[in-house]
A = this chain, B = another copy of it.
């Protein structure tokens, strides 16, 4: 434990670790651990998607998939997603290539037009949003762009702190919450049944409060036994609360990132209202890519099988990262991290006030991590402690050295300030 070291021991260790870092610097590394991107081998898994359609394919169905129309997506693919999500066709819209885009658009529509007859959020004065932290930087970027005041809600090991949420939603200016309920970004936490149930029966002060349920990693287990997340839409129905739920997801981390299909699921009322507004915005999404996805997978179960291949590729990468963290930092007492069962990240909490410096030092040796603070609204981690580690993109052979650089940097950052 570093905390027990004497001043002279610390000084000696700082010299040693700094020499290590200089040594790494001399290697001319260029490694990127910053974004949750699939790697080449994962993308290769879906190349068959490009074989299912050719010039002999029949796309001229009851409606011609090559022509305008069908704003909520083709029913064949909706069937598959309905099975995976346990929702009805009338509760689902399959959109374009990006769930982030749907989240942004859905919030923008609420800002501009209001929700189900409520006043536009733009006209409701100063409004607020609940942000479980650490969380997804791109979520926070959206609410920040719209000028919405973000309120940090601490994460527990089974989801966000529900006591705080139940208290905060009594404020009528609180209009929503970001959730990544399964294998959360970055901690890999799966919301417990109890948390999902408490969320589903929230009684917010105003009827235009929405849970933005970003189920980005709904079938993205990296272990054999996938965890079951409770269906929040079903739970919410028990309390007449189904209009409070928006569920988002995509195949970006199933097939191709940015070349997949994304969806929103919600109550029939919300979906009808969104379709009506969408029909001003577009004549329809890309049905050819939707149909290719249907032909490639045919049924929900085949997607689950496909996901096992992803897991087989990325599990060793998670293991490699965790192994180095354990070897290098477990005995130091200057860091804690989660051991995720799925998703795309490992969340590492470093000693207070050392995250920024650690990332800066790692960068000086050619290893890029997500900027410190990214996992918090306004990029402000109150403890300057959390670092999101994304193990999927780099080749597995690069991970040990990248993580050794990280650990060396974390040690130096601690020793410098202590």
| Interface 9-residue window, one of A17-25, A211-219, A277-285, A313-321 | A277-285
Contacts of A35 in B (CB 8 A): 68
B67 near A257 with CB under 8 A, answer yes
Measuring CB to CB, which residues of chain A are less than 8 angstroms from any residue of chain B? Answer: 35, 37-38, 40, 43, 46-48, 50-51, 53-57, 59-60, 64-69, 96-98, 100-101, 104-105, 108, 111-113, 122, 138, 141-142, 145-146, 252, 256-259, 277, 280-289
B282 near A98 with CB under 8 A, answer yes
27 A-B pairs with C-beta separation under 8 A: A37-B67, A38-B67, A43-B66, A46-B66, A47-B56, A50-B53, A50-B55, A66-B259, A68-B252, A68-B258, A69-B258, A96-B286, A98-B282, A98-B283, A98-B284, A100-B283, A108-B108, A111-B112, A122-B122, A145-B277, A257-B283, A258-B285, A258-B288, A259-B286, A259-B287, A259-B289, A289-B289
- Chain B, Cβ-Cβ closest to A291: B259
A257 near B111 with CB under 8 A, answer no
Which A-B residue pairs are the 4 nearest by beta carbons? Answer: A47-B55, A259-B288, A43-B66, A101-B282
Additional pairs, 11, CB under 8 Å, beyond known A67-B257, A104-B280, A259-B288: A38-B67, A43-B64, A50-B53, A65-B259, A98-B284, A100-B282, A101-B282, A113-B145, A138-B280, A142-B281, A258-B283
Kindly report how many copies of this chain are found in the complex they form together: 2
Measured CA separation A96–B35 after assembly (Å): 23
A280 near B48 with CB under 8 A, answer no
Measured CA separation A56–B48 after assembly (Å): 9
- Given known pairs A286-B97, A286-B286, the reply for A280 and B67 (CB within 8 Å) is no
- Given known pairs A48-B55, A101-B281, A282-B100, the reply for A68 and B112 (CB within 8 Å) is no
Measured CA separation A154–B208 after assembly (Å): 42
Q: How far is the CB of A38 from chain B (nearest CB, A)?
A: 7
- Given known pairs A50-B53, A256-B288, the reply for A108 and B112 (CB within 8 Å) is yes
Contacts of A57 in B (CB 8 A): 47, 50
A54 near B51 with CB under 8 A, answer yes
Q: How far is the CB of A146 from chain B (nearest CB, A)?
A: 7
B281 near A66 with CB under 8 A, answer no
Which of A108, A138, A283 gathers the greatest number of chain B CB atoms within 10 Å?
A283
- Chain B, Cβ-Cβ closest to A70: B258
A40 near B68 with CB under 8 A, answer no
- Chain B, Cβ-Cβ closest to A145: B280
Measured CA separation A67–B252 after assembly (Å): 8
Measured CA separation A69–B35 after assembly (Å): 11
A146 near B112 with CB under 8 A, answer yes
- Given known pairs A111-B112, A145-B280, the reply for A40 and B54 (CB within 8 Å) is no
Measured CA separation A242–B11 after assembly (Å): 61
Contacts of A105 in B (CB 8 A): 281
Q: Which listed residue (B68, B277, B289) contacts A257, Cβ 8 A? A: B68
Contacts of A252 in B (CB 8 A): 68
- Chain B, Cβ-Cβ closest to A142: B280
Contacts of A138 in B (CB 8 A): 280, 283
Measured CA separation A256–B67 after assembly (Å): 6
Q: How far is the CB of A117 from chain B (nearest CB, A)?
A: 16
Contacts of A146 in B (CB 8 A): 112
Contacts of A122 in B (CB 8 A): 112, 122
Q: How far is the CB of A405 from chain B (nearest CB, A)?
A: 24
Q: How far is the CB of A126 from chain B (nearest CB, A)?
A: 14
B40 near A60 with CB under 8 A, answer yes
- Chain B, Cβ-Cβ closest to A69: B258
B100 near A37 with CB under 8 A, answer no
Measured CA separation A53–B67 after assembly (Å): 21
Contacts of A98 in B (CB 8 A): 282-285
Contacts of A287 in B (CB 8 A): 258-259
Which of A67, A104, A122, A146 gathers the greatest number of chain B CB atoms within 10 Å?
A67
B108 near A258 with CB under 8 A, answer no
